[in-house]
Amino acid sequence: MSTKRTSTTTPAAESAAQPLRLTVFGTGYLGATHAVAMAELGFDVIGVDVDQAKVDALAAGKVPFFEPGLPELLEKNLQTGRLRFTTDAASAVAGADVHFVCVGTPQQRTSHAANLAFVEAATSVIAQNLTQDAVIVGKSTVPVGTAARLRELVAGLVPAGVQAELIWNPEFLREGKAVDDTLHPDRIVLGGASAKAEAVMRAVYAGPIAEGSPVVVTDLPTAELVKVSANAFLATKISFINAIAGVCEAAGADVTVLADALGHDSRIGRQFLDAGLGFGGGCLPKDIRALMHRANELGAHRAGALLQQVDEINMGQRERVVDMALEACGGSVLNKRVGVLGAAFKPLTDDVRDSPALNVAAALHLRGAQVTVYDPEAGDTARRAFPTLGYGVSVEEAVEECDVLLVLTEWDQFVGADPQRLAALARTPRVIDARGKLAAAEWRAAGWEFTGLGRLAA
């Protein structure tokens, strides 16, 4: 059974003879952020990766992705000497006390199941190279049951005379807010930890715990399920309001006002109730599909069926926005100029993995539209992923001479743009607000033909 324990005092780290030394395996989005944050909390940290170019970039103070606040903390902690990066796993593991596994778990190419090859490889390398007793901490998002299997793997690989305990400590990072989420987490989950391992982890997270971050101590399966269940719930909430948006359109109601009214109910809340293009990115889509796959494996078919519907509703929103663009252009976008504001799957990131915005832009391009995409941070990553699309360097360039404008990522500069000034640039001032963030009355007053998902017609 899960138990919840909270602490507002600095834990048993005070009894340690010397500061804990940490390694972080994997220096992608999760790993790089975690390594920097752990150094910021005062630990000596070595980030380990098999990609020499990634290691060299981080060692030079360059973050290979956009995340507010991370470059400054990276540079600061490199200068203090508390943080370094290497491809030499053996030397990094030797002498360290806690080893975090932060590698990716992408979806398998042939199914919805998670690919655990990177997690297994990192865990094996750590176990084989241990020179002293240590705690191996899984942070990667994995299917339930993975940690128990990894424990067996570790037991067969650790050198004689060395004790290693594998526990699970899931991550809850939000892109765009990852630094704050790591330094000031809203909860710390420890799965499968003995009293000794729990004391070590309370020492690692002494700062956040002292600030009031609650610690949830539980078993391995529960810890593995927390992250994917949280993502599944958020995805379900998004798909729910998008399904209701369809009802609003049919009934002549306004989903934004409806969502505001629902949000006043403390049991529901307003967050993630914005009807629109739906969710994307590197976590929610793959995580709900992996959970769907695992639930069906375990015979929990109701959960699998629910998540299937959530996924279908979400993907249907992209098709709906494409249809709205076609309708706005008289049934065809062939040789029409389409302006697209947004490429990242959400604001405050340059992540375009499974981006609904780029999915819609590419679909219109395939139908013969002349598409110009602008995103303040994701232009380069979008160009690498979809090189056949056109890209602008400003909002104005995307809007210029467009037959229809699509707002597909809710960056502040798009939401706060001057509709009067932009109307003068468009060939035909038509706008589709696919994120439900524009002030419809202001855009209509400025001369725009305005449509949105679940929004009242003019």
pLDDT tens-digit series, residues 411-442: 999 999 999 999 999 999 999 999 999 999 99
Examine the pLDDT at 232 and tell me if it is beyond 70.
yes
In a domain, 225, yes or no: no
Task: Kindly report, residue by residue over 100-159, the tens digit of the pLDDT.
Answer: 999 999 988 888 889 999 999 999 999 999 999 999 999 999 999 999 999 999 999 999
DSSP readout, 102-151? Answer: ----PBPTTSSSB--HHHHHHHHHHHHH--S-EEEEE-S---TTHHHHHH
| Spatial distance between the Cα atoms of 100 and 32, rounded to a whole number of angstroms | 11
Residues 266 and 180 in one domain: no
Collapsed DSSP state (helix, strand, coil) of residue 171: coil
Q: Give the pairing type, strands 215-218 and 3-5.
A: antiparallel
Residues 364 and 264 in one domain: yes
- Count of domains in the chain? 2
In a domain, 87, yes or no: yes
Mean pLDDT of the chain, nearest integer: 94
In a domain, 402, yes or no: yes
Tokens standing for residue 141: 């998002």
In a domain, 201, yes or no: yes
In a domain, 118, yes or no: yes
Token match 């989903």: residue? 255
Residues 39 and 185 in one domain: yes
Which of 153, 183, 218 is at the close of a domain?
Answer: 218
Do 431 and 448 meet the contact criterion of CB atoms below 8 Å apart?
Answer: yes
In a domain, 457, yes or no: no
Which of 188, 218, 248 is at the close of a domain?
Answer: 218
Do 354 and 281 meet the contact criterion of CB atoms below 8 Å apart?
Answer: yes
Task: Kindly report, residue by residue over 285-341, the tens digit of the pLDDT.
Answer: 999 999 999 999 999 999 999 999 999 999 999 999 999 999 999 999 999 999 999
- Give exposure, 100-136, as e/b (b: 16+ Cβ within 10 Å): bbbbbbebbeeebbbbbebbbebbebbbebbeeebbb
Q: Is the pTM of this model over 0.85?
A: yes
Examine the pLDDT at 199 and tell me if it is beyond 90.
yes
Residues 267 and 373 in one domain: yes
Task: Kindly report, residue by residue over 348-382, the tens digit of the pLDDT.
Answer: 999 999 999 999 999 999 999 999 999 999 999 99
Task: Tell me what the mean pLDDT of segment 379-386 comes to.
Answer: 96
Q: What is the CA radius of gyration of the chain?
A: 24
pLDDT given at position 440:
94
Residues 80 and 144 in one domain: yes
Residues 199 and 331 in one domain: no
pLDDT given at position 5:
40
Residues 182 and 284 in one domain: no
Among residues 102, 248, 283, 329, which one is catalytic? 283
In a domain, 458, yes or no: no
pLDDT given at position 151:
97
Residues 20 and 148 in one domain: yes
CATH number for the domain that contains residue 257: 3.40.50.720
Residues 284 and 206 in one domain: no
283 in active site: yes
Residues 355 and 213 in one domain: no
Task: Kindly report, residue by residue over 9-59, the tens digit of the pLDDT.
Answer: 333 333 345 789 999 999 999 999 999 999 999 999 999 999 999 999 999
Do 405 and 398 meet the contact criterion of CB atoms below 8 Å apart?
Answer: yes
Which of 218, 250, 270 is at the close of a domain?
Answer: 218
Residues 252 and 204 in one domain: no
pLDDT given at position 456:
76
Helices (H) and strands (E) in the chain, counts: 19, 15
Token match 């006002």: residue? 257
Examine the pLDDT at 61 and tell me if it is beyond 70.
yes
In a domain, 36, yes or no: yes
Residues 176 and 236 in one domain: no
Range of the domain at 370: 231-452
